[in-house]
């Protein structure tokens, strides 16, 4: 990577009537990557995307694309294109004309426009539908027209606003992969906005989690999932058990945290002082469930295990989620993969069970 990233967002603030919708965001996005802005609705991710597109003006801060300051450039002069939420296809134009719209604005010769539109139609496999109007297409096809239209001008940067938000679940899963394949085939740098963490995880090479106008954490999907930096991120991405407790031992190689129902022995150090309040985050799939109390390897006897009663269970086919009621009243979520068929004496409602986890499973969160 060179000194300056391809897209540099520097201290960008957007205030509406005194409220900061985007609060001091700085980001570097590399050439060719698919970058996702992830957060709940109202977190400012769409406002940030619209500032990249030129539809909103930052209150302060700068945005540099390939070293060039985008400030003052209207949308129609920016070397980037956007795929809008629910697509904003022109209803009075055919698929072909929709894709050609941007090319014609560049005053390209007709033959060149036709060539590029046909290439785009092949890319999204819609050549057969060139003469249809948008309302004659299915949701998935409309989405591909919108993608073709936003790629037709070969933008330096592609912006996707909730690209799959308008599709139903099954179609969304299929389209995620297809969309990534097309974007990678074209090789365009891409910034997408989504509130769906699964979508961000499957599509993006890096994710920025936003809340209340601020960036909370930036990293690869795996990093964000396995080492969340805060309670919000741990809770927003995937399922998690959060246990409040206090640091009782702080050694370089491991720490111990006492919680209401159990004591954790955690195999990595943190910067903290003994007695400070912390939160332990434990993912449901990292917990083992059994009928007997067993000691956990590499952990002092009695640590990293807890007894509870199965209060609820939800069968998802490939895995089952158990809700274990602990002595303090807390409910521990445990997901257990159903690797065998017809397991003997499976746990069921009302059974007593022991949950245990390895020292590497929990993450200690200080805020």
Which residues of this chain interact with another protein, rule CB under 8 A? 53-55, 74-78, 81-82, 84, 88-92, 101-102, 105-106, 133, 135-136, 149-150, 153
Looking at the Cβ atoms of 49 and 233, the one nearer to another protein is 49
Residue whose structure tokens are 């109007």 = 133
Least gap, CB of 82 to another protein (angstroms): 5
**CB-based contact 217:230 (threshold 8 Å):** yes
Tokens of 176: 């995620």
Measured from the CB of residue 133, what is the shortest distance to another protein in angstroms? 6
How many Cα atoms sit within 13 Å of 319 on the Cβ side?
A: 13
CB closer to another protein, 102 vs 163: 102
Helix (H) or strand (E) holding 197: helix 197-203
Closest distance of CB 101 from another protein, Å: 5
d(CA 121, CA 152): 10
Question: Which residue do the tokens 């679940």 mark?
Answer: 169
The smaller minimum CB distance to another protein, of residues 27 and 146, is found at 146
Query: How far apart are CB 252 and another protein at their closest, in Å?
Result: 53
**42 versus 75: smaller Cβ distance to another protein:** 75
Closest approach of Cβ 157 to another protein, in Å? 12
Identity of the residue, 89 or 280, whose beta carbon is nearer to another protein in the bound complex: 89
Q: For residue 144, give every residue at least 6 positions away whose Cβ sits within 8 Å of its Cβ, in sequence order, or none.
A: 124, 125, 126
The tokens for 245 are 């407790």
Tokens of 201: 């995880």
Q: Which is it for the CA torsion 182, 185, 191, 194, positive or negative?
A: positive
Q: Minimal distance in Å, beta carbon 93 to another protein?
A: 8
Per DSSP, what are the bridge partners of residue 315?
320
103 or 203: CB nearest another protein: 103
Q: How far is CA 283 from the centre of its chain?
A: 17
């Amino acid at each position: 990577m060179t000194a300056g990233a391809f897209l540099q967002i520097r201290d960008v603030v957007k205030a509406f009537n005194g409220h900061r919708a985007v609060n001091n965001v700085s980001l570097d996005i590399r050439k060719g990557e698919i970058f996702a802005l992830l957060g709940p609705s109202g977190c400012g991710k769409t406002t940030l995307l619209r500032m990249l597109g030129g539809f909103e003006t930052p209150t302060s801060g700068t945005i540099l694309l390939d070293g060039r300051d985008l400030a003052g450039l209207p949308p129609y002069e920016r070397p980037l294109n956007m795929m809008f939420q629910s697509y904003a296809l022109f209803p009075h134009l055919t698929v072909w004309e929709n894709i050609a719209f941007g090319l014609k604005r560049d005053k390209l010769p007709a033959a060149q426009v036709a060539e590029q539109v046909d290439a785009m139609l092949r890319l999204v496999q819609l050549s057969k539908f060139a003469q249809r109007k948008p309302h004659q297409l299915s949701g998935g096809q409309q989405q591909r027209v919108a993608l073709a239209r936003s790629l037709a001008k070969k933008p330096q940067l592609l912006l996707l606003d909730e690209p799959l938000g308008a599709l139903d679940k099954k179609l969304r899963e299929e389209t995620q992969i297809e969309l990534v394949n097309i974007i990678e085939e074209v090789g365009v740098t891409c910034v997408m906005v989504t509130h769906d963490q699964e979508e961000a995880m499957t599509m993006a090479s890096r994710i920025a989690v936003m809340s209340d106008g601020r960036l909370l954490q930036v990293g690869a999907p795996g990093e964000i999932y396995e080492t969340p930096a805060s309670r919000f991120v741990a809770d927003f991405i995937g399922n998690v058990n959060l246990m409040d407790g206090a640091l009782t031992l702080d050694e370089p190689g491991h720490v111990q945290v006492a919680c209401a129902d159990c004591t954790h022995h955690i195999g990595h150090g943190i910067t903290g002082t003994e007695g400070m309040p912390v939160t332990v985050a434990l993912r449901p799939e990292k917990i083992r469930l059994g009928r007997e109390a067993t000691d956990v390897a590499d952990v002092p006897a009695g640590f990293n295990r807890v007894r509870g009663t199965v209060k609820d269970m939800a069968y998802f086919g490939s895995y089952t989620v158990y809700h274990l009621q602990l002595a303090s009243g807390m409910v521990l979520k445990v997901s257990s993969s159903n690797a065998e068929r017809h397991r003997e004496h499976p746990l069921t409602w009302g059974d007593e069970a022991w949950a245990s986890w390895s020292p590497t499973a929990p993450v200690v969160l200080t805020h």
